[in-house]
Each structure stands twice: as C-alpha cells, then as structure tokens.
Amino acid sequence: MLLLLAAVIIAFGFGAYWLSGRYVRLFKIDIKQTKFRIIRAAIAVLLTALCGIFRIGLLIVLHLLVLWGLCELVRVILRPILKHRKGTKPYSFLRTVYRFGIVPILAVAVLFTYGYFNINTVHQTRYEIASDELSRDYRVVFLSDTHYGTIQSPELLKEKVDEINSLKPDLVILGGDIVEEGTDKAEMQEVFERLGNIESVYGTYFVYGNHDRQRYTSDPEYTEEELAQTVNQNGITILKENYVEIGNDILLVGREDLSAKDERLEADALLNGADTDRFILVADHQPNNVKSNTSYAADLQLSGHTHGGQMLPLGWMTFMYNGYVYGQYQEADTDVIVSSGFAGWGFPIRTQGISEYVVVDLLAE
C-alpha cells in the first residue's frame, strides 16, 4: 500500500511538473533553462503538498492532467491531417484553444459543477422482487452511506426522512457508513436521532459499514459503545451476524462488515435454528463477498459501499475488480442490489452515479 501511495505521489509530481511547463511556455519562456526547471520543480513540489492538504485540489489537478493528456493525443492525431490548413483562421483558433488549455479547464469546470449538484440531489430508486415464499407484499427501504456531517447538508436527510415516511414502508434497513471518521459525536447522535424518526411496520435495522466505528483514525470522536448506545436509544436495532424474523415471511440477516471478516460466521452457525423456508433477506454493507451469502440460499442481498464509483472512472475500475458496483445483479438464485448511497465519500462532488435511497417492493407470487 505504501509503495502504491508513493508511486501515485511521484506520478502526480511529474504530472504537475509537466503541466507547469505547458503554461510557462505560453509566455514564450524557454522551459529548458536550468533556472526555470528548478522553478517548475518547486511548483510541482508545492502543488503536490497543497493537494495533499486540500483534497479537492488534488482532484482538480488530476482531472486537468488527464484531460491535458487527451488533448495532447488529439493534437498528435490531428496535426498531420490539418497541416495544409496552417495559417488559416480556423487553424489559428484551434491552436490558441489548445495552447491555453481552454478545453481541459472548461471541461473540469463543467464536470465539477455538475458533480456538486449531482451529489446534493438524492433520488428514490425502485426495484421489484417477486417470490412464492411471500404470503403478502412488503415494502423495504434501504439507505446507506450517508457519511453524515461531511459533504452534504444535514437538512437534505431531514427532507428525505419525511419523504420515506410518506411511502409507509414495512421495513427500513440502514446499510452502513451512516457516519465516518469525519463525523463528530454530536453529528453521530443527530443522524441516528433523525433516522430513528422513520416510521415502519417492523422497525429500522442497522448493519455496520467499514467507517461507522471510526477504525481508520487514531483519534476517534466517539467509542463503539457510544455509537451502539445511540443507535439503540433511537429505536434502531443493530444486526451483527444474527437475524430476526419479520412478519410471517421474511428472515432478515445482518452481516458484520468485511473489514471485520474474522467475526463473520459460516452459514451453518449464522442460521443455526432459523426457519430457512422463509424469504431470506441479507443486509451486508460491502457487496464483495456475495458468494458467502448465496451459500445459504439467500433470496436478496442489499449492499452499499461502492458509491457507484462516485468519481469517473472509479466505477469502471471497481467493476473490473469485483463486478458489483451499482444496480441489480443475479448470483445463482440470489438477487443482489447495490446502492450508490445517499452521499459520497471524501469529496463533495459526484461525477459518476447518483445519490439515492432504495425502495424494494417484495411481491407475493
């Protein structure tokens, strides 16, 4: 991991050095002079350090580097094609656009503006699953990855809680990463108080994500005991390698997050004494280990964690890694629904996927 991080930092530094040269040349300065090479190197080091502090800056520069690279590729392709147009107004115009980096700059501005509004627009996404194991219809609401207190307005969740109540759900599942390392104790208490106001027939259930217990920081804002106490005080039930029976038809299984994989049970221990003739609904924060849930004939798995990629092209890369990024999948006899989450993580923008909560209508056949 450290080697990978070092490689990324070095690549970013060289990219920043190259990009600074592109803009310095606009002033007709010989960038090959030693003093200007030293200046460019200093700029690259400073930019790398600043982007390490201001992560949104890192994202902007990375996008500029990629788009500049694409422009260079286009230039190489078009140069022999357009050489006979040299000296004409269209050629001069295109050359000016290229030299000043207008296309990459405009593209980043448009992309990031879209990403800001996209992450702050929460959609309702619906699915239908039919089963002969159900004696009646059930409406399940699945909400995950709010990362509360970090990148979205708290008022947005309050609005959506009212919207969810209007749906009159039978069951509500909180799929993990409701809070994270950037959430303070007051915000943690606030979000579970708000989520505790969701009304449903059979209650609200919560499974841990990889961030909820703030395991990625040496200075957590709250303890795991304080988190669990807050969740329980707001009428929300924590499921962690156990199950509950919902009505006459559903067995709701809550898995421990994969980040604590040593605490995950095998199927025979997990479902010991359970009525497996019921419709088995599994809540598992990460979709990376679907096969462990299909081993006990789960009918439906609900997961989050991936954020649908959040930033292009991360979603495509995630798909290449495990295949479960966003939407509905089929694994053996198990339907798998992966939500892109209520919010994102790390950056206040989303250029891939949507922010959402999921409504699943379970239909009796």
Residue 304 near residue 310 (C-beta atoms within 8 A)? no
How many other C-beta atoms lie within 10 A of the C-beta of residue 223?
12
Q: What is the 3-state secondary structure (H, E, C) of 162-224?
A: HHHHHCCCCEEEECCCCCCCCCCHHHHHHHHHHHCCCCCCCCEEECCCCCCCCCCCCCCCCCH
pLDDT for the residue 66: 81
Q: Which of 45-59, 151-165, 242-256 has the lowest mean pLDDT?
A: 45-59
Lowest average pLDDT, out of 20-24, 222-226, 260-264, 281-285, goes to 20-24
Read off the pLDDT band of 321 (50, 70, 90): low
Q: What is the pTM of this model?
A: 0.85
124-364: what CATH class? alpha beta
pLDDT tens profile 130-147: 999 999 999 999 999 999
Q: Quickly list H helices, the chain.
A: 2-24, 34-53, 55-82, 89-99, 102-119, 154-166, 185-195, 224-233, 267-270, 290-294, 314-322
* pLDDT above 70 for 8: no
Whether residue 218 is predicted with pLDDT greater than 80 in this model: the reply is yes
Using pLDDT thresholds of 50, 70 and 90, give the confidence band for residue 336: very high
Residue 2, pLDDT > 60, answer no
Choose between 101 and 169: higher pLDDT.
169
pLDDT of the residue at 4: 54
Confidence of residue 18 (pLDDT cuts 50, 70, 90): confident
Which of 241 and 288 is assigned the larger pLDDT? Answer: 241
Using a pLDDT cut of 70, give the percent of the chain over it.
Answer: 92
Taking only the tens place, the pLDDT of each residue in 96-115 is 887 777 888 899 899 999 99
Q: Region 339-343: what's the mean pLDDT?
A: 96
What residue segments make up the domains of the chain, in order of their start?
2-116, 124-364
Q: How many other C-beta atoms are found inside a 10 Å radius of the C-beta of residue 214?
A: 20
Return mean pLDDT, the chain: 88
The C-alpha angle 3, 6, 12, rounded to 5 degrees, equals 140
- Mean pLDDT score, 331-341: 93
Q: Is the pLDDT of residue 1 over 50?
A: no
